[in-house]
Amino acid sequence: MTPAARLQATIESLSDLEESGNPASHIVSRYLRKRRYIGAKDRSTIRNSAFDIIRDQFHLDLQIRNAGAKPTPRSRALANILISGNSLDEIALLCTGHRYSPPKLTEPEKIWLLTLTKISKVTAQARPNWVRGNYPSWLEPELWRSFGGDVMSEMVALDSPAPTDLRVNEAKANRKQVLKTLHSQGFKAEPTSFAANGIRLFNRPAITSSEAYRNGLIELQDEGAQLIANLVDVEPGHCVIDFCAGAGGKTLALAPKIGKRGQLIACDTDSARLNKIKPRLKRAGVRHVETRVLTDDDAWLTKAKGTADRVLLDVPCSGTGAWRRDPDARHRLTPTLLANYVVKQQVILDLACHLVRPGGRLIYATCSVLASENKDQIERFLHMWDNFSVSPVGPIWRKTVGANGAPDESMLQLTPKRHGVDGFFLAVLTRTR
C-alpha cells in the first residue's frame, strides 16, 4: 500500500469506530479482516496509526478547535500527521482523490491546517490537566477524590501501553516449566512481580497460537486480575460463587485452588457471555465448575441463601482501570453511563450479600479507579448492612500473595503506577452474623 492508501484506511477505520461506538480493538480488527488484500506490514501500520490517534485524541481535538476546525476522524488523522512533522504540501500530496487515497484538501481544510502550523505550540505543561492526563474533563473531580495530588502521574501511567500477562494453570504446570518452554520458543518472558503464577511477555507476541496456550497451560490474564483471584482466599472444599463471571477469567483462576471437593458456581445474566467459559474450561482441564444464567426472580438465589463461603463480585463498571488496554473507552464513558454503573453495582451488592454464610466473605472488585464505584459503594453498603464488616486486605495478601507489596490500607487499589498492573479495586467484607 502507498502512504496515501494507509492514511485513507486509517481514516475509514476511525470513521467506523465513531459510528459504531464499540471498542476500537474490535472495530479496527473487523475493518482489516474485511480487506484481506492488505498485507501484514500495512495492517500493523494502519492499526498503530489508528490507536496513536485514539490515545492522543484529547490533545488533537484541542489543537483542531484552536485552529478553528471541528474534530472528525479525517481532521484528527490530518492533524496527527501534521503535528508529527509533515508539511502542508506533503499532506496535499497524500490527499489526491485518486483511488485508495483521501479526497483532496478543501480550501477550509487548507486554512485550518495552515493555522495549525502557525499557532504557538502548546507546551506539555501548559495544556489542561485533562489533556496531559488523557481523560475526559468532566472526570477531574472524581479523579482528584481518588488520587489527590497524584492524579497526573497516575493518569500518565494509565495511558501507557499495557504488557501481556499470562496466568499459569497450576492444575497442569508450574511457572518454572512454562517459562522454560516459552524461552525455548523465542518468547521474551519473565515472572510477574506479585502473582505467583504470573508471567509477563513483551513485544505483544502471538501467544494464542503457541502450544502452551493450546494445551491449556496458560491463560491470558492481567496480573492485577490474578491478584484479585488470589485474594478471594479460596480453600479446598469451599463453596464459591463467582457472581459476575462474564467469560470466566477469574473462575478459571479459582478452580485449581478449590479442588474437586469444593463447589464453584459461575453466574452471569448474559448467557452468550457465560457460554464463552465452556471451551476455556475444557482447554484448562477443569470439569467441576457449574455455570448458571441468572434471571429475574431466580428461585436459585433463594435456595442458595447463606450457603457460600466466598462470593466474588467482579461487578460491571466504568473500566477506567483498564484504559491501557481499551484506550477509546475513555471517550465512550459519559456521566450518565457512570451513574448507571453505580446503581447497578448497588443492586448487585444488595442481592448477592444474601448468598454469604455467617463467617463467609463477600469480595467486591472493580476494574475502576473511581471512588464512586469503589470506596463510596463499600461505605453505602456497610451503612445498609450492619451484619458485614471490612476485613483488612493486608493479612489476606500476606497469606495468599506474600509479604512483597502487602498494602497497609483496609481496602486495595491497584494501579499501573503503583503496581505495574491494570487499575483494580478490592474490598473484603466478612459476614459477622
* Catalytic residue numbers, as ranges: 367
53, 60 contact by CB (below 8 A): yes
Instruction: Please tell me the total number of residues recorded for the chain in this structure.
Output: 433
Pairing of strands 239-242, 263-268: parallel
| Inter-residue long-range contacts of 399-403, CB under 8 Å, 24+ positions, other chains counted | 399/233, 400/230, 400/231, 400/233, 401/194, 401/195, 401/196, 401/227, 401/230, 401/231, 402/194, 402/196
Strands (E), 141-197: 164-168, 189-191
Measure the CA–CA gap between 418 and 238, rounded to whole angstroms: 32
Neighbouring residues of 103: CB distance < 8 A, sequence distance ≥ 6: 95, 97
Whether the Cβ atoms of residue 400 and residue 233 lie closer than 8 Å to each other:
yes
Looking only at the bridges linking them, the beta strands covering 263-268 and 356-366 are: unpaired
Q: Give the DSSP H or E segment for 263.
A: strand 263-268
- For residues 124, 130, 136 and 137, what is the CA-based torsion angle, rounded to 10 degrees? -130
